[in-house]
Structure 1
Amino acid sequence: MSNRKTGDKALDHIIHEMVDTVTNSKDEIFEIGEESRNEFEKLNNELTEIKKQVVSLIDEGDKLEQKVRFSRMRLSEVSKQFQQYSEDEIRRVYEQTHGLQMDLSMKREKEKQLRKRRDDIEFRLRNLDETIARAEALAGKISVVLDYLTVDFQHVSAALEDAKEKQEFGLKIIEAQEEERRRLSREIHDGPAQMLANVMLRSDLVERTFRKYGVEEARKEMKSVRSMVRSALYEVRRIIYDLRPMALDDLGLVPTLKKYLATVEEYNSLEISFASIGKERRFESKYEVALFRLIQEAVQNAVKHAESSHIQVKIEMKPTQTMIIVKDDGKGFDPTEKKDKSFGLVGMRERVDMLDGELTIDSSPGEGTIVTIQIPINS
């Protein structure tokens, strides 16, 4: 079994690694496509701007070229008839012509560079367009492959999980049985067994009291012994109820709750009021047991820890859900404060979560506690 579990874990690991690798590859391809699209858009915008600049430079160059021709003609005329012009005029015409030629040369060079950049960008855009197309095609193929892998591996995982559950089911039953036996052993040892041992000791004390102090004192001791027997009987009944109240199967939830709460009220000398709202009906056994356990745990918490004198229990049966409210006038507590060994509340939350329900606890020190439970149960 150990080797099989190890093999199952290894297979699960391989499956997850394969799916993760394919998923990561798909993500990387998607990122490459997105980066290519962003670069494509950026270069396309730059290309548009360069084309505008080239057109503007061509226009400016043509105009400047006309000025250069006119300036050359003027320089040629001045050179031929230099005697009619002063040295400064000749120098000014020469410098103007030279400056225009330099401007024209620079614009033509800039136009040449922009044309080259334009050609490079157009080439880069063609490559990017091909890259984007390939990335989209490849991502689509990987998506198909990933879908097939995921579906197939889900079947494999389901089969493995089913096999694991079948293997572990017997062990879980045995563990649960042993844990329940240990719990019952502790409860009987700490409860009824010790109480009965005390009854035996007190019964001997009754006899000695009768001989030494007379009937009246012995009667007082008998009253104390009777109280201890009553407590032991209550503990035995409580353990039986913890195992499973027989009335649940025969009478249903509400009658069993009434009987249980009456027993708790009698043996703890406190007041418990019970109200059932809505049309009383039977549920599936798992729901009736769960609702009974939740109310039982909430009431036991109020009795043992809250030191309550009055507990109110209400169950409301609606068409789509059942709501439980357990309210006490005890000392209350801070629900946000975690306490060691608070197994009762943890167990209640776990049971409510298993039934897809909702549990809320409203309490504060000195203000009592209100436990509200809502369980979705259709008619």
Structure 2
Amino acid sequence: MAVKTREKALDYILNEMVDVVENSKDEVFHISEEARTEYERLLRDLEYTKAKVLRYIDEGDKLEQNVRYSRKRLSEVSKYFDRYSEDEIREVYESTHELQTKLAMLRQEEKGLREKRDELERRLQNIDHTIKRAENLANKISVILTYLTDDFRQVNEMIEEAKEKQEFSLRIIEAQEEERKRISREIHDGPAQMLANILLRSELVDRTFREGSTDDALEEIRSLRKMVRSSLYEVRRIIYDLRPMALDDLGLIPTIKKYITTTSEYNNINIEFTSIGEVKRINQKYEIAVFRLAQEAIQNAVKHAEATLISVKIEICTRNLNLIVTDNGKGFDPSIKRDKSFGLMGMKERVEMFDGVMDIISTIGKGTKIVIQVPMEGLF
């Protein structure tokens, strides 16, 4: 009964995660379609405006010819003033003035149409960029969905095999479930929230444009572009978190260095890294475990500690591999149990799976130090 309950819980988590990603993809698709509809409407408006500009140019050219002829007539009347009657002179002056006034008004309207045409072209270009980014984001989410589906399918196959052969313990299964919950929370708190915000901002752009505030609409589009870019980064980060390819190719130390560099640049925070001992490849499952532990410790310091400096040290000794992560953040009281400390719980479980130990040293206002010690036996 307990096994069936766990299976249902796992299936529910997997389905929920897939639904979140699929819904995010649908939201991005709707944003893209709305932007495309707006693009087509603006394109029609642009074509109409261009045609109107050409018509005004043609009318203006013709009117300029009439003005030149009228000025020539006026010059002749002024030169031979005594040959024309007072009515004829007044008629020539009024006719010339009327033509000049009409030409000035026509050119002013032509100028306004040209500015409208240029503005429509700029807006079309911005919306086109939004459409392309939305389509690109949808493609990236499709890749994430494929990754999740494939990974979860493989995990389910592993669990089924474990059940048949009785080779896996309950702790491993629970650890796998916690890993999936963590990924689900990251997707929900990251891309899903961003996509929802993008949808709301796109509606705001539409409402702002319909209310006639073009500058505000353009500002909202620029803000929307930044949000799409940030969402794309989060999607790529989740893909990297699922499985850093550099771990297979380069090994533990180079992969951690690369991760620290990327995290430091993105979060604009100083992260120092030190490696002591001989750098060589270790058992793959240990490389993955140590990398995940370092990754979780760094993310905790970045997200929760409000630190300005993080120090990461790996010591490869004769008997143990030590991972030490220190930050100068706000700290906390380790004796107080926190309801949602999933990250620390997952780290402790992972360390215990490899017969290691983890100590958390933290004081409120004085930062946090996490010390992890894993036996070297079995690492190679």
TM-score, scaled to structure 1: 0.49
Structure having the higher Rg:
1
